[in-house]
Amino acid sequence: MTPSPNNTLQQQMSVRELSKITNNSSNIDQNYGQSMTFSLQTELTNNSISEEEEKQRRPWFIWIMSIIQVCVFIVELIYSSLLTTRPIETNISLNPLFGPNPYVLINIGASFSPCMHAIDGITNNVSATNFPCPNSPTLTNTGCTLSELCGFNGVSNTPNQWYRFIISIFLHVGIVHILFNLITQLLIAGEIEKKIGVIRIAFIYFASGIFGFILGGNFAPDGLCRVGCSGSLFAIIALSLLDLLYNWKKTENPKIQLTIHIVNIIINFVLGLLPGVDNFSHIGGFVIGLLLGLAILGSPGNLRRHIKPRLSRSTTKEWNNSPWYKKLFCHRQKQWWAWWL
């Protein structure tokens, strides 16, 4: 049976249409593949840029704090030379860390409990001249009132120089003390600031430093002064340890880094046994660092991801448009919730 001309024409048209559809689909697949390749390349490029930006970040807060602390220490030495005619105390029993005597530190703003709150038997009579003077060369030389020792316009029967909690962070006992703190601050705290940003590092730095002095004021002997940013640095060490433990397998030579942290902690605790340095401040700062690292920063693994949770593309837009309280609780890892439970 011979096919009709109409059927032949329809078959030819069907073949042509099928060929067009096939060509179009192949072009679509090719274009889609190219677009996906371009998208992937763009994503990789963006990631490489972000990593490069992270390397180029500068720890401005840590640098500024270090410069301020060095300048304040120079002021300490000048102030000590004006009061005692010598910038560095030569009596080792007063200061073995090569710095001003503790009474100069108290007068310039060190954390000293009798200047900060009422203590029965000590602050009952602030006009009594049984306190050492800032220029006292020995431990037994008394003749000043509590107001003269504390400075800052003196104190009343209920001392309330609360600002010493903040001032003490910028003060240091001596050259040895500030050198050890600067090494830890520039090497460890600087790297942490690059990962979590200026605002978070500043909040953790001051919160842990203040809480450390509060803890020391409650448990350390009332007659000792306390200075230094060691409480803040112990919080930074706590953050660094969290980051190290949660990324143990991804870290290069983790055992060496852990050993460095342990040695650093031991050295600081040994320094905490000397006058002017307080181990209670170290403990308080470390505890606050752990709590803030778990509560505010999310899971410690987020330290290397700039605190932002890893989201799929479908939820990125929703995340960016979400209010702050939703960002605080959504997409948290299980370790974060386990800590609260």
Mean pLDDT for the stretch of residues 290-310: 59
The answer to whether residue 317 sits within a structural domain is no
Cα(first)–Cα(last) distance of the chain, in Å?
84
Is residue 48 very low, low, confident or very high in pLDDT (cuts 50, 70, 90)? very low
Instruction: Write out pLDDT tens, residues 220-234.
Output: 888 889 999 999 999
Higher per-residue pLDDT: 151 or 28: 151
Please report whether residue 38 resides in a domain. no
| Position 254 in a domain | yes
State mean pLDDT over 169-178. 94
Lowest mean pLDDT among 26-40, 50-64, 251-265, 291-305: 26-40
Question: Could you count the other beta carbons within 10 Å of the beta carbon of residue 259?
Answer: 11
Question: Phi, psi (5° rounding) for residue 132?
Answer: -70, 150
Does residue 339 lie within any of the structural domains? no
Distance CA 235, CA 291 (A): 9
Whether 38 shows a pLDDT value over 50: the answer reads no
Name the active-site residue from 230, 232, 240, 281.
Answer: 230
Ordered alpha helix ranges (H), the chain: 5-56, 60-84, 102-108, 146-150, 164-170, 175-184, 190-196, 198-219, 230-246, 254-271, 279-295, 313-320, 324-329, 334-340
Amino acid at the residue 239? L
Task: Confirm whether 226 is domain-assigned.
Answer: yes
Say if residues 137 and 152 touch (Cβ distance below 8 Å).
Answer: no
Tell me the C-alpha distance between 198 and 190, whole Å. Answer: 10
pLDDT (mean) for 87-102: 88
What confidence score (pLDDT) does residue 267 get? 87
230 is catalytic: yes
What percentage of the chain carries pLDDT values higher than 70?
A: 68
Question: Token pair of 203, please?
Answer: 């909040």
Query: In the structure, what pLDDT confidence band is assigned to residue 43 with cuts at 50, 70 and 90?
Result: very low
Q: For 64-77, write each residue's pLDDT tens digit.
A: 999 999 999 999 99
Tens digit of each residue's pLDDT (9 = 90 or more) over 2-30: 555 545 545 554 545 545 545 554 454 44
Residue 328 lies in a domain: no
pLDDT of 141 over the 90 cut: no
Average pLDDT over the chain, rounded to an integer: 77
Bigger pLDDT: 93 or 193? 193
Q: Which domain holds residue 238?
A: 60-308
In angstroms, the CA 116 to CA 166 distance is: 12
Residue of 61, 340, 328 whose CA lies nearest to 195: 61
C-alpha radius of gyration, the chain, whole number: 32
User: Is pLDDT above 60 for 118?
Assistant: yes
Residue count (the chain): 341
- 116 vs 164: CA distance, rounded Å: 8
**Catalytic residue at 282?**
yes
Active-site residue identified among 177, 208, 282, 299: 282
What per-residue confidence (pLDDT) applies to 172?
95
Mean pLDDT within 70-95: 90
pLDDT digits (tens, 9 = 90+) for 204-214: 999 999 999 99
Q: Which residues contact 324 (CB under 8 A, 6 or more apart)?
A: none
Backbone angles phi, psi at 197, to 5 degrees: 95, 165
- Here the CATH number for the domain that contains residue 216 is 1.20.1540.10
8 A C-beta contact, residue 65 and residue 171: no
Number of domains the chain contains: 1
* Structural domain includes residue 289: yes
Question: Which tokens sit at 230?
Answer: 């060691």
- Determine contact, residues 242/298, Cβ cutoff 8 Å: no
Q: Name the residue type at position 8.
A: T
The residue-averaged pLDDT of 303-311 equals 48
In a domain, 246, yes or no: yes
Contacts of 85 by beta carbon, 8 Å cutoff, 6+ apart: none
Q: In degrees, to the nearest 5, what angle opens at C-alpha 278 toward C-alphas 260 and 194?
A: 45
Identity (one letter) of the amino acid at 144? C
Q: Assign 167 to helix, strand or coil.
A: helix
Phi, psi of 142 (to 5 degrees): -115, 165
